[in-house]
Structure 1
């Protein structure tokens, strides 16, 4: 049997045992879950039945409390118990599945309704109607008939049934829990035993042979080719591994035999490598005239011919590079000098444009500031015009208010005159009363005293009315003066309003002119900024071109120096003179030299190189 099948069978045994244990455990858990749900339902029914009994007893007790005290607070609790009973009774009837228990709920409800009609609601109406003594006497004479026992007894059956269901579910839960615990313990022990047994069996069948093969392979790697390989007759993967190790051993033996035959070939190969190495050293030293003249074995003849052809092509290429480098160096020097002159002129233009742009920007900023200030001044002028208009309206209102105050003062003057008349008549009446009291003798003495007091009060009222008239006259004079001053203020505000309006128009024209100038300057500044940006870019590009030309001249000089190190003929090659660009303007290349430069740089020698 193959190793994967052995491992699969082992895992299958473990999984089957675990699945059996989990199935039994799941069955017990499901039983516990079902019993718990039944217990919860039974407890809910029990609680609602108990709640119905409590609601009935509550109605009975609260009705009796109202009969005794006539306190309305008992009725609130009575009605709450009635509502609770009606709601819970309907819910309990829907939850019950047994027809007998549902009939018990219906019977309890019917008895409750009958009790309310006969006793509860009827007696409450009597007490509210002022017949509390009659209601109390009726309850005392009724005895047990007024109790709610007939409605409570059917609910006891529901409670007993729910209690039996709870006890049965609890017993089922305990049994299922014990069974699940037993299955878990026994199953765990069995799984551990099965795992240990399979580990021992697999170790003997797989691990031990693998260790033996590993040891055999280590000895083969150390050079021992005379070993015997075990487990080659097995039909599983370990047998395949053992047969593979056997192949390695045979291959090692064959390699050992072939090493002796390859010694001769190695000697010839060493001669060829030494010869090529010596000639490559000559080429590396710059001697491109070095060729291989020694005869090679037939299998290496192509290497000799290819080396000689490559050295010849490289020699021709280097000679062409030396000639082209001189021409390119002269042209790159001229380009570098021209680029530097152009860069200096471009930088000077860019600096001038930058200064012009800064000046225009400053002008634009100042014009914008002036325009903003003019706009703010216009806004302030608008506010001043509005304030002056408000002041005129306030002055007009003040004049009207002063006129109304003057009119009111005239009315007050009439009131004071009426008070003078009343005081005078009161004093006359007091004098008449004193005369009559004198005539009455002793009987009118008290009345005479009162007449004197009334006369004194009338004289005091006349004095106070005189003072009020004087004060009112002074107030009227001040009001007339105030009206004149307010009218003068109104006239001044009118003149100010006209002047501020003219200033407002002038500032508006100034603001429009400033805005137009600011717009024009902004456009000019934008154009100059664009020119400045373009000039800066051109200067940067010219600078980059100049730097590239200088780098090109430097690279060509280095290329010529390096190319001059090679010897391309038996007499050697003269080094080209370096071009100098320290002063003056380089000479322009003639058209023929430019054509030769283009022709040389596009020849096939570059592709060969």
Structure 2
């Protein structure tokens, strides 16, 4: 209860206002034994109701906390039973009000709980007023009334003190909450205004604008996030601008290179077409050469056969010349015999002439015959000599012919071997020409395919050229778009180094974080409640 000036009443003022005199306190002390005996069962009945009511049970963590609160209440009621309303009692009653405000226990529940306890206490006091009790006597009803009145006054003062502190605490909490809400709203308005100006600048392309003003509460993180975002955007736009310039210059170079490549590809295509035509002619020529070489190989084979036949004939001629040589030698021997006979005949004719001369006239006829025989022998000797000379010359010529024919045979054998070698070489040339023709046919097909691919490449180069020109135009448009944003000089010059992105810390798992918060809340709530009920 408070006065008109909203200043709280002191304990003395409260007690004086309800006429809690020394006499009333003494009457209350008369109930102390009764109250202390009845207090345990009264509190047990109260906590039975608490256990049965889920709303009330939620204010207690467990049975241990409920037992602690019960002990605190017993100590508090012991002070009331002794009518001890000093500073210690006042502190305990005020702590009860503050505890109720902190845990959210409404006054109606508090009053209902007191009603349960007071009901049991008053019933116990009335039962104690029966005959032969401490209230027995002439003024029993008067003493009982004084004692019960003192109890009720003490209970009401206790509830008044606790509820007043409860209301004051709630009022203070509301005031602090209002101040905090007002400060938060002001900070929010300030932060929203600052953010609105910064976002407006950002919407107009000003990437130099940062939030440098201090913001309270959670807005400071938003400020940091905004500044980081602007920095990243500025860096990104600067990099995009640099990349756009590089793309523009590169696309121009690509366009020039593509144009040059297109011209070269066209030239290459024309050259490949001419090469393909030339290869077709070369292939036809090589095929013709292969046919001619094959025919030449056949001719050389025939020539080799004829040369082998000539060699056989020469060998036969050599044998015939050797036989002629032997015959000539035989003739020479015969001529020698004839020459010897002519010589002997000449000697005999000479001797006959000498004998005829000795015979004189009688041997004159014989001398004539001897002279004729001698002349005939001489002619035979001369003829034999001439024949011998001819035979010698013929023998020399036959020997020379034998040598020549032998050499001719050897030459023909060499020719046969060389013709065989040439025939083999020509055969190999024919096979090589055939392989060359086959290879040239494959090369011709490859060149044709290459020509087709070159034509396709030319088409692709034209498309690439068109695409590079398009990319160049897009890069120019991108550069114009980037130029609308305000960037610092270092970013515009492309000299601003990109900061290494921070590696974000792994986020906490929400369930684990909520569980930790809930566990901590229960622990702190249990500790606070135990302390508050201890103060109860």
TM-score (norm 2): 0.28
Mark the structure with the bigger radius of gyration.
2
The structure, 1 or 2, with the larger RCO (C-alpha pairs under 8 Å, 6+ apart) is 2
